[in-house]
Amino acid sequence: MGPTRLLCPLEHHLIRSPLMKYFFYDILFHGFFAATLPYVLYKAATTEKYREGLGERFGRVKREKLSSLSGPGPGIWIHAVSVGETRAVLPLLKVLRENHPNARILFSTTTRTGQAVAAAECGPLIDALVYFPLDFSWAVKNVIREFKPDIFIDTEKEIWPNLFKALHDNSVPIVIVNGSISERSFRRFLKFGFFFADIFSKISFFCAGTGADFERALALGVREEQAMVTGNLKFDQRPGSGTHLTEGLKKNLGLKSGEILFVAGSTHSGEDEIILSAFKELLERYGNLRLAIAPRHPERFTEVEGLINKSGLTYDKRSAPKASTEKAGKDKGDGGAKVFLLDTMGELNSLYEFAHVAFVGGSLVPGIGGHNLLEPAALGKPVLFGPYVHTCGVMAELLSEAGGGVMVRDQRELAAELGRLAGDKKLRESMGAAAREVVKKNSGAVRKTLQVIEGLL
């Protein structure tokens, strides 16, 4: 239970004034952190990723990073939660850097995977990369005081009360880009409307991804003249905007003429078993089928390798080429492993380039909501996805309507659809072309969003 949930009983009694609301939120946030501190300390002691950027999470940015942010240009702070948001904002970041070569650009992410992708793909475009500070009033104020931003650009859906108040108090415009408010988040914000109405009113401009996001933003307190539908920045991503295709990856794959590569990207726990079973089922009919799996989180690499090993399929992995299991077997009669495990970060987009069919994970199991369907679509690949796509529902709907994507609900449907595509080259090509056309038709969000930002800089 987060700190905002604890505010509800206080609504009509103690926090009538805006200042008192933030005062009690700050107390509850500290209390919530204190309650979870033993767990946090345990994870920090046993897991490296919890120690990484610890000072930055408490608002302490290293001196060398701050020195790289000095200069006369405008200070632009861009925040992206993780991998998907980082890649979504990349086209906008490129144009901002072109238009403002002297700008001081601070880029923050919440997750370690977000840091890795930002370092690899945004490196030349930014001046400093940091972990996003926890929403303690003193922590966020310290970052603002040290960096002195002229604008804060928040990607997609994160709302932080203390940060927004501190930015507003320092006359720093707050722009939400790729603005997304799910139905679930909308209901939660409405439930605590006595508190969140003031927070949403501090947003200088809400660039909504869809009409539904626009309407929800208005209902939550954003003024109508300070919001518009700009579209989804992810439609402006182009092949090559991520990590460039590497010869090493191509060599590791060892894809032979006539082989069909099925790439399952951004997979989560519970999905890999379904994918491996569907793939094994199809191997009897399609001996030329290959599978590449890219788990969403690096801490699952070993787990997924174990699942592949347990399946009896031969495999190679990116981190250790030719380290495949040496099973006696028919599936290695051609001298190549049937499964490829991408156990590195930042190369999924490159892997999609080799795909003949792509599946995007986080969608076959509940609780995640799906990941970016447009990465393979922009490359002209047929896109498969599961039924749990509430975070990318518009993309899924557009791809389905255009014939560029298909929803599969379980192992049986995944095997059936993959088999249909594996046996029909013309179908793969027509679906891939339809997927690419969806991306092309819906592009333009960067231009609209940039106009908003330029007007506030």
Distance, CA of 357 to CA of 381 (rounded, Å): 6
Q: Measuring CA to CA, how many Å separate 410 from each of 137, 271, 321, 374, 414?
A: 46, 9, 31, 22, 6
183-191 and 193-201 helices, crossing angle to 10°? 110
* Segment (H or E) for 152: strand 151-155
Query: Which position among 56, 85, 305, 375 bears the catalytic label?
Result: 85
**Which strands sit side by side in the sheet containing 227-229, from one edge to the other?**
128-131, 104-109, 75-79, 151-155, 174-179, 205-208, 227-229
Instruction: Please state the length of the chain.
Output: 457
Residue with the two structure tokens 């498969």: 384
Give strand pairing partners of 310.
none
8 Å CB contact between 179 and 158: no
Long-range Cβ contact pairs of 384-387 (< 8 A, separation 24 or more): 384/357, 384/358, 384/359, 384/360, 384/408, 384/414, 384/417, 384/418, 385/359, 385/360, 386/271, 386/361, 387/363
281 in catalytic set: no
Long-range Cβ contact pairs of 63-70 (< 8 A, separation 24 or more): 65/128, 65/129, 65/130, 66/128, 66/146, 66/147, 68/127, 68/128, 69/104, 69/106, 69/127, 69/128, 69/147, 70/104
8 Å CB contact between 372 and 234: yes
8 Å CB contact between 255 and 290: yes
SS3 track for 62-95: CHHHHHCCCCCCCEEEEECCCHHHHHHHHHHHHH
Choose among 360, 350, 380: nearest CA to 120: 350
8 Å CB contact between 414 and 275: yes
Q: Which residues are designated catalytic?
A: 85
